[in-house]
A = this chain, B = another copy of it.
Amino acid sequence: MASQTEENYLKSLFNLANEKGEVNISELASQMQVSMPTVNSMVKTLQKNGWLIYEKYKPVTLTPEGKKDAALVIRKHRLTEMFLVNKMGFGWEEVHEIAEQVEHIHAPKFFERMDEMMGYPTIDPHGSPIPDKLGRIQEINYLSLSDCKAGQLVKLAGLTNSSTEFLEFLNGRNLSLGIELTIRSKEAYDQSIVVSYLNHNSETLSEKVCEKLLVKVVE
């Protein structure tokens, strides 16, 4: 069974793996906030336990088993976040740190019961997909708001970044998942976008913000 530390490495590896599925030691070190020698010794351990493939001076790759176990930790994390928001009344900006701890609890029934109580949700409070019990993750292809055109009506569906600061920024403008945004205009100079929604008639969103907002086109 994976230790808390190993579970955290698996999650980082899973999240860093791009199309090629490869992760560099230095990326992993910076993601995990540890030194490269620490990662070097940990990848050897993870390999010994069958979670990844490691060859000297090469980027590492998760094995199928590694991917599955990583996805199951992510599942625990996201189910927890959803439970904290939907069943315990927390704000979406408060749950990540708690989930970061709860995800390491070894008690399948605990998470199954959460899942059941919530009616088997497929996305977490930040719009990220919740892997299923077998560790399969449903790929969703949202569009970034920064790729939308003036005149479009879109629905806010996800975020590419869920930092507390960004979530609080969104709270401050009453922006939450599910809200429909009408794109009033787009400024060619700085790529900022003016949107209207709810009682907000013309809210200007910078490019930095727009590229972090994932939307579904409504019309």
- Interfacial residues, chain A to chain B (CB-CB below 8 A): 84, 87-90, 94, 97-98, 101-102, 105-107, 109-110, 113-114, 117
When A88-B117, A117-B88 are in contact, do A101 and B105 touch as well, CB less than 8 Å? Answer: yes
Closest B residue by C-beta to A83: B88
Instruction: Give the residues in chain B near A88, CB-CB below 8 Å.
Output: 110, 113-114, 117
B89 and A113 contact, CB distance less than 8 A: yes
**A98 contact from B84, B90, B110, Cβ within 8 A:** B110
4 nearest interchain CB pairs? A98-B107, A101-B105, A88-B113, A98-B110
Main SS class of interface, A: helix
A98 and B94 contact, CB distance less than 8 A: no
Instruction: Give the residues in chain B near A114, CB-CB below 8 Å.
Output: 88
Instruction: Give the residues in chain B near A94, CB-CB below 8 Å.
Output: 109
Q: How far is the CB of A70 from chain B (nearest CB, A)?
A: 20
Instruction: Give the residues in chain B near A89, CB-CB below 8 Å.
Output: 113, 117
Q: How many copies of the chain does the oligomer comprise?
A: 2
Instruction: Determine the distance from Cα of A91 to Cα of B8 in the docked complex, in whole angstroms.
Output: 31
A90 and B102 contact, CB distance less than 8 A: no
Q: List 21 A-B contacts (CB under 8 A).
A: A84-B110, A87-B87, A88-B110, A88-B113, A88-B114, A88-B117, A89-B113, A89-B117, A90-B109, A90-B113, A94-B109, A97-B107, A98-B105, A98-B107, A98-B109, A98-B110, A101-B105, A101-B106, A101-B107, A102-B102, A102-B105
Instruction: Determine the distance from Cα of A101 to Cα of B107 in the docked complex, in whole angstroms.
Output: 9
| Apart from A101-B105, A102-B102, 4 more pairs, CB < 8 Å | A88-B113, A88-B117, A89-B117, A98-B107
Closest B residue by C-beta to A94: B109
Instruction: Give the residues in chain B near A106, CB-CB below 8 Å.
Output: 101
Instruction: Give the residues in chain B near A102, CB-CB below 8 Å.
Output: 102, 105
Q: How far is the CB of A206 from chain B (nearest CB, A)?
A: 31
